Chain A
């Protein structure tokens, strides 16, 4: 049979175009708030993902092809929806990583789920993101409940032993800003404290815009609170510390849950001597022991080499670790289809203390990482040092000099 020359050409062309498609980069969406009020920490989170992708590419990429990150900026839920639509429909991404903010995560996951594309949450903390029965939503970072658990652990494992008392003898007061962030964590704190048999003497919400907390402090004083748990932003944290000093109120321990308590600027305003000894529960920051967080120094080094500055917060670290776990799983998966990725994610089994952020990785049926935990840190001489869990600690917790 005589083969027509045009047919050969056509077949060659088809083969060529098929191989071109096969060798194109793997597109991965990165959905973060990169402008507006959340931009600073959104960008810090994105940097963690960027470093994880660079490492994956250096190790051969996914299925032998390099990963290309497609950035999508979203500052609110409406923008998150349209960004997720763009990523899933016109950019044809294999997965979307994000998102720092719970509001963005809620909105974007609805879209990716409909498109049947995996969404990997690396930083948003609202528990119910993974409690909606979605099949392709996974989260590596600890949730609000884990933050609350961290503050209770701080009481039972650090504060009570330091004071040499039974934790149940301590009077605990919970104060929190009255929007979603504070209310969610405070509700878990109360629930978990009661479960541990601790005495909660006050639960007091207040507006984050308050200009005076003196009456709240008088109530804490009146209730004889030994331990104060505060969930707050920057302004109310600084106000609280100024006014307890003015009111002469000195609780035995103050424990914050991220937010204003983790920021260096808060210390500048409050004064390092006034926040000395205060505990803080959050994603791990960089004063963490390599022994409990293998790879943390290398990450900080990679960060400095890439961006020419010190990391601005622990958000890059937690995003980096989560992204690395998920990208490794995608590399192991039979294909990049959502089904195969799900199987690969289910197969992940990393014990606690074996990642650069101390967390382990084992995903439940709802997609939540069951080995995600917060670390407990303490302000010592103006530096936020990890004090718990012991393997990751760089300093001993001490309650000798409370405000």
Chain B
């Protein structure tokens, strides 16, 4: 270098700083240590793994030829056919709150209904528990009643925060809530009417099935005693 056109000045080289390189080395070391730690930690874990499902048929017992197999199948098929209901039956979908009346395999009436809330009620006095479920499974129409009267059970009072009156008390008699007709399915479960028609299609009952007036009247007049009801 020439300063002011005079003698050249010798520049002493400044020591180069290698911070950048050290930083990279440090980060690389940290990454390696981190990765190794992660691998070690991962060996202690037990993650959920999805695997293919392979269906394997049960091995056929020895001595079972095609003829015996066909006979057993025929017997089981006949048992299934015998179990199915003949004629008219009712199907209730408790999730969608739909009731279907089926005759000879065809839906002849479909209605909006209300079913059980599934709520659990606990009596504060003795911790007795009620579950407001519409029962699942098969039931039978055991009895039909015009202008049914509801004898309010204990839970109807406890739910309102009231002490239940003694059994047989006139305060338990409610001639209005069940509507014009009642179709009794046993264990206190009834297909009946409602004062709260805007709640049809929702899960609001204590286990019974509520229907609108027209659908209830149709069922009362067309469904014979002994008709099977399938609730799911």
Do the two chains belong together in a single complex? no
